[in-house]
Structure 1
């Protein structure tokens, strides 16, 4: 959870940049790509842990963990589907790194970073609920 917070904070540092700056500063672009990749992987690892602990199913692919959380009522459908789309974005960053659309990267930075914060908050609610029930 601490790492996820660090990745979110790193991405926040880059939000004030313009699309043109992101396009022209390759080092910054790489930093944003890497932080998104790591943050999305962290969310997916946490989701997989929840699926395992609560015995919600046996995911075959990374996106499946969010589908299990939707199907069992832990995540509402729109949010879970948005997280599944984030996994697709992460896959594009990892497997098609030579063809990253900088405009799309900028859009995720400006508009979709909130999803990572929401997932962090969702996880903290579960942890807090478990601690309160102990």
Structure 2
């Protein structure tokens, strides 16, 4: 089921995560540097958007339903057995963070951002590997 759209979206996600690692470098104090912080947040947004695009593409290609919002796309992948319930929930949470970053940047909590960077970037790798195995 791997086509150019899927491979390109996965490549985009991987590139964004690499950039986040380069800028963050597992050093929380790097988030105090606004240029690094902006780069990290922008690449996290892009990785989230590419993940959503990937889910929407698969849902459309497999005719799994008509998502009313981004979260629905992950639900359809879960319902079809393409991703686990746990992974679906992780990706939905990441989409929620993206919404905060995009629409309410002033309220962006750096502690939450740090927790995502320290504990949840691996969720993107799990997602892309799961899609590639499908």
- TM range, smaller chain: 0.7 to 0.9
- Larger relative contact order (Cα-Cα within 8 Å, sequence gap ≥ 6): 1
> In angstroms, what is the RMSD of aligned CA positions?
1.2
- Report the TM-score, using the length of structure 2 for normalisation: 0.88
Q: Are the counterparts in 1 of residues 24 and 40 from structure 2 also a CA contact under 8 Å?
A: no
User: How many residue pairs align between the two structures?
Assistant: 125
CA distance in 2, matches of 1:2, 1:84: 20
Tell me, in whole angstroms, the C-alpha distance in 2 between the residues paired with 1:80 and 1:101. 23
* TM-score normalised by L of structure 1: 0.88
Alignment deviations for residues 35-88 of structure 1 (CA, whole Å, 9 cap, x no partner): 000001001100101101111110000111000111111111111111111110
> Structure 2: which 5+ runs fail to align?
1-9
1-structure distance, mates of 2:29, 2:73: 36
- Runs ≥4 in structure 1, deviation > 2 angstroms? 14-21
The runs of 5 or more residues in structure 1 that have no matched partner are 127-134
